[in-house]
Structure formats: C-alpha cells, structure tokens
Amino acid sequence: MSDKDDISQKTLAVHGGEPRTYPYDALAAPITQTATYSFADTAELIAYFEGRKDREEYGRYGNPSVRLVEEKVAALEGTEDAVAFASGMAAVTSTILALVKSGSHVILFADCYRRTRQFVTTFLGRFDVSHTLIPPADVGALKKAIVPETRLVIAEAPTNPYQTIPDLEELVAICKKKKIKTLIDSTFATPVNCNPARYGIDLVIHSATKYLAGHNDVLGGVLAGSAGMVSLVRDLRSLLGATLDPHAAYLIHRGIKTLALRIEQQNATAQAMAERLEQHPRVRQVWYPGLASHPNHDTARRLMSGFGGVVTFELDADLEGTSRFVDACRIPRIAPSLGGVESLIEQPALMSYFELSTEEREAIGIKNNLVRLAVGIEDTDELIADVLAALGATR
C-alpha cells in the first residue's frame, strides 16, 4: 500500500510499503540478519552484474529488512523512494555530501540541528564548500543569500528548541526558480504532522531515532525523495558505509506501526500542556506551534496537520531554580533526545549548550531558564499534573 492520497497515515503506518505475505506465510516482517548473500552459481553472478537479474549482493548495499523501512517511510511521506541510514546524522551528512562539490555554496537556517550546523559551518569548509546562515524562518533573507554557486538550502520545520517554521511554499517557489535543491529535516514534524514533499521540497530527512522508531532504543535515519535523488544518495551510502543494521531496521519498522497513534496522543498532550503552562504564573513564555502566541502559528496551521510533541518554555527562575524544577518532575526523565514513548525533559543551557558561558548562550537565544519538554505517551492529565506540581520547586 503506498497511494498516499487515498489512504490515511494510520493505515499506511501499519501496512504501507509492505508485501502481502512474507516467507513461510509469516504475518510479521522477518529480520534478514545477514552480512552477505550467496549466488547459486557463476551464471547467476554474471546475470546479476550484467543487470539481467535483480537481487541482493552484499550487506552494505542493501538488505530486505532495511528496504521495508525505506518503503514504509516513502509511503508515509508520499515520495517515490527513501533510503535508510545508521543514524539521523548519517542521513544528513551523506545527503549533503552527495549534493555538493568543491566551490558549491549552501544556505542554512541558523537554528538548524546543532550537529548539522557544525558539519556545514566547520567541516564542509575543508572541501571549499561555502555557506551562509540565515535567521530562523526568515525566507526573505533566503532570497538575498542566494549566489550563483548555491546548490542547496537546508531547513527544519519545526526547529529546536523554539520550533520556528519557515514558509515551505515560499521557500520552494524561490529555490525552484534558481534550480536550487531544498532539504528539510522533518524529524520534529514526523510524516504524520507534515509531508514537506507535498509542498515541493526535494529531500526530506528524519532522525528515525526519534518519533519514527519511537521507543528510545535504536538509532537510525531516513532520507525520502524522488527516485533519482534517493538513488544518488544511496550510491554514496554504499560507499561511505553508513548503512542501517538489519536488527535496528526491524525495530524502526516495528516502531512505525504505532507512529500515527503515538503522534495523535503526543500532539494532544503537548497542546494541552502548552495551554496550561502559558496560563501559569511561574512560566514567562511558552513556544509551541499550536499556540496562537507562537510567531509561526499561522504557517504551522497552513502546512501541518498537527503541531508535535515538544513544548519549550521559559520559567520565572534562574539557572538553579530551573534545575530544581527539572529535578522535581517525577514522570519526565532527564535525557537528550525526544520522540519516544517516555517523556524527556532538559534544560538546553545544561544539555546541548553546556560548554558555553551564560553570555554566549544568551547571544544565540538559549537562556538559563529555558526548558524543553518532549512529551511521551503517558496519561495527559497525570503528566500535566506532575509538571505543574514541579513548578513549585522554582521558588
């Protein structure tokens, strides 16, 4: 099943991209745990290399369990194809490397994932690939940043932690005219809340570690796009070796079965949480795309069918008071990452930006009293009650 326009995300999550039957009439997808594949005889080997026989060859080039993840994500995103990687960053770096060459220029929204930013701003320079950072969600600045060498625009929607959402339709209109490829890291949105390819985005990336797998127990990444683009990136994956392991693929594939259900719950809990926090006297500001107060709320409503499971907020407290609140939460666990069944909470100043001084953090908009809460699938009312009770600890 893959026809996105006729079939709901709930049904596609369960059945999308899967054959009707598996070997031995198994209902569940098997794990093909193998590093290589045998040929019946030399004639088959020759037929394969001459392109007369389609089959697997070697584990770094392909695996049926990995293929199932790729086909399911392609079905959910409504793209021709997808290719899976050992991690989200393997997907990001392999895709970018497949598209640029010495002399190319890349445009990146300044609030993109920290490691993506690091790769573009420090690593690519070694290969004479230049870049321009543009302000969050500022598509107007994109127009001005384009130079004749610009090959690629990298965006995220929503971003971390303020959840900005650039206008994807405008972004595509600008880039298509100049034949510039567009890449969106859609990890926070998931294919349930947004399908960027529908708006003409060329390349859609997910850290499958987060919502797709959904259980905080496996790393993975996926790129979805046209057959041509995916094939280009797949060839580089085979060369770089950032291939997804078959057992990890099985866990991701199994996780996606419940994706639409989990996202429905996480959207609802996060919306209710954001609304309650916004009313609370110990909370200064809340950033959630589903709130009318969010600067990109209108864009979110136009492009997304749900607003996601992450709520970011600033407390009326200092660094220590904010830590006391985080420590007082009994349900959310303190950990990096997001998107799993367990709620996770963190103080970005002490997690992703620990090495920076208070002044350096302020300069990039990360305040000491900022909290990121990624809601899981626990009971909505119990989670809200737990977080509200913990706010008392900020005093």
Residues that bind ligand PLP (CB under 6 A): 87-89, 113, 156, 160, 185, 187-188, 207, 209-210, 219, 221
Both tokens of 332, joined, read 């959310």
| Short-list 286, 289, 275, CA closest to 158 | 289
In this structure, what token pair is assigned to residue 289? 């795309």
Between 152 and 317, name the residue whose CB sits nearer to ligand PLP.
Answer: 152
Which of 221, 306 has the CB closer to ligand PLP? Answer: 221
Nearer to ligand PLP, 124 or 283 (CB): 124
- Residue 231 parent element (H or E): helix 227-240
Closer to ligand PLP by Cβ: residue 62 or 309: 309
Q: Which is nearer to ligand PLP, 108 or 390 (CB)?
A: 108
Phi-psi region of 137 (alpha: psi -120 to 50; beta: other; left: phi over 0): left
Angle at 89 between CA 138 and CA 100, to 5 degrees: 65
The residue sitting closest to ligand PLP, measured at its beta carbon, is: 88
Contact 98, 236 (CB under 8 A): yes
| Least distance from ligand PLP to the Cβ atom of residue 113, Å | 4
Tell me the C-alpha distance between 51 and 366, whole Å: 54
209 or 271: CB nearest ligand PLP: 209
CA 252/CA 210 separation, integer angstroms: 10
How many residues does this entry show for the chain?
395
Tell which residue, 233, 229, 174, has the closest CA to residue 199.
174
User: Which pair of structure tokens corresponds to residue 47?
Assistant: 């037929």
Q: How far is the CB of 198 from ligand PLP (least distance, A)?
A: 20
Q: For residues 377 and 383, what is the distance between their CA atoms, to the nearest angstrom? A: 9
Closest CB 160 distance from ligand PLP, rounded Å: 6
**Scanning the structure block, which residue is given the tokens 């709930």?**
10
CB of 294 to ligand PLP, least distance (A): 18
380 CB contacts (<8 Å, ≥6 apart)? 265, 268, 269, 272, 273
- Taking the complex as a whole, how short is the minimal distance between the CB of residue 186 and ligand PLP, in angstroms? 8
Which is closer to ligand PLP, CB of 224 or CB of 283?
224
Q: Which amino acid is present at 338?
A: L
- Nearer CB in complex with ligand PLP: 81/185: 185
* Least distance (Å) between residue 381 CB and ligand PLP: 27
d(CA 31, CA 37): 14
Question: Which two tokens mark 253?
Answer: 């594939």
Residue closer to ligand PLP (CB basis): 87 or 271: 87
The CB-of-206 to ligand PLP minimum distance in angstroms stands at 8
Query: How near is the Cβ of 251 to ligand PLP at its closest, in Å?
Result: 13
Nearest distance in Å: CB 204, ligand PLP: 12
Q: How far apart are CA 107 and CA 129, in angstroms?
A: 11
